């Protein structure tokens, strides 16, 4: 009984340590003062100012647009790459997997500078396109690592059985393989989206004039002090992400129940 209580207390302290900064940020997004250490009363003015700040709204637009596009494209590329890697023979598979680990283990600054040099060598105009390409490149390895475990868990003979029954390889991929690994694909897409929204270094080195995401915009604010509007924006993004995760969790749970009933 004592051990159980200690475990619960330990778990509570760990989660408190992780989420305390977010709770403080949410509370102070309603603070009637620019001070981040003194409570001066409840207000919604920072939320009102948020929707009146053209620079932040523009940065938010580019952040969401690039995050969505890079998540979609990197998920497609990463999923097909993971399927290809899972079907490779032993030594080739190990070599490709080790190559895939390199961008994950590589410091962001090295990836950022490497991509910048590549874009300059190709004489691309720095802006939306270069930032999007850099985010896709950065996210693909994480998608591959998210999908591969689901492919390993899947019965390898399912697709073969479908083709034996007359299905084309593409139809077997679409109707058999993809549904089986869908949890891994969704996880990879969410990781790609989160990494894209969060990224600063790669964005900073590969953006151009007139294109700025939230991380770059917030970094530029640090020289003159962080506007409490950012607290309001962060709160809305956190709440939106939590709602999205709950919806995905409920849908996944519903699909698992339906699969169980069918079996």
The verdict on residue 59 lying in a domain is yes
pLDDT tens for each residue of 145-193: 999 998 888 877 787 788 877 778 888 888 888 888 888 898 899 889 9
3-state secondary structure of 42: strand
Q: What is the pLDDT of residue 1?
A: 62
pLDDT tens for each residue of 193-207: 989 988 889 999 998
Q: What is the pLDDT of residue 209?
A: 84
The verdict on residue 106 lying in a domain is yes
**Window from 17-21, 57-61, 71-75, 165-169 with minimum mean pLDDT:** 165-169
Residues 6+ apart with CB under 8 A from 215: 63, 198, 199, 200, 203, 204
- Separation CA 131–CA 138 (nearest Å): 11
The verdict on residue 188 lying in a domain is yes
CATH code at 162? 1.10.3720.10
Q: What is the pLDDT of residue 205?
A: 92
- Separation CA 201–CA 261 (nearest Å): 47
Mean pLDDT, range 22-38, rounded to an integer: 82
The verdict on residue 19 lying in a domain is no
The verdict on residue 3 lying in a domain is no
Mean pLDDT of the chain: 86
Domain ranges, residue 179? 55-226
The verdict on residue 253 lying in a domain is no
The verdict on residue 232 lying in a domain is no
**Residues of the chain above pLDDT 90, percent:** 27
62 has a pLDDT exceeding 70: yes
How many domains does the chain divide into? 1
The verdict on residue 27 lying in a domain is no
With contact defined as beta carbons under 8 Å apart, do 235 and 25 qualify?
A: yes
């Amino acid at each position: 009984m004592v051990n159980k209580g200690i475990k619960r207390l330990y778990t509570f302290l760990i989660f408190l340590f992780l989420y305390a900064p977010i709770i403080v940020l949410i509370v102070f997004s309603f603070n009637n003062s620019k001070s981040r250490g003194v409570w001066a009363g409840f207000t919604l003015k920072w939320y009102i100012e948020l929707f009146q700040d053209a620079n932040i709204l523009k940065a938010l637009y580019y952040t969401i647009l690039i995050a969505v596009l890079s998540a979609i494209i990197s998920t497609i590329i990463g999923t097909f790459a993971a399927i290809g890697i899972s079907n490779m023979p032993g030594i080739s598979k190990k070599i490709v997997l080790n190559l895939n680990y390199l961008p994950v283990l590589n410091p962001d600054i090295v990836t950022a500078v490497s991509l910048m040099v590549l874009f300059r060598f190709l004489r691309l105009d720095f802006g939306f396109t270069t930032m999007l390409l850099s985010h896709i490149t950065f996210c693909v390895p994480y998608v591959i690592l998210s999908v591969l475990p689901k492919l390993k868990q899947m019965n390898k003979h399912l697709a073969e059985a479908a083709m034996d029954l007359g299905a084309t390889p593409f139809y077997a991929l679409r109707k058999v393989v993809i549904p089986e690994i869908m949890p891994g694909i969704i996880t990879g897409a969410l990781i790609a989206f989160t990494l894209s929204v969060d990224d600063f270094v790669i964005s900073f080195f590969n953006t151009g004039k007139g294109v700025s995401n939230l991380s770059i915009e917030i970094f530029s604010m640090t020289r003159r002090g962080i506007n409490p509007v950012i607290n309001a924006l962060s709160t809305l993004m956190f709440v939106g992400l939590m709602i999205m995760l709950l919806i995905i969790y409920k849908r996944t749970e519903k699909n698992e129940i339906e699969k169980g009933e069918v079996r």
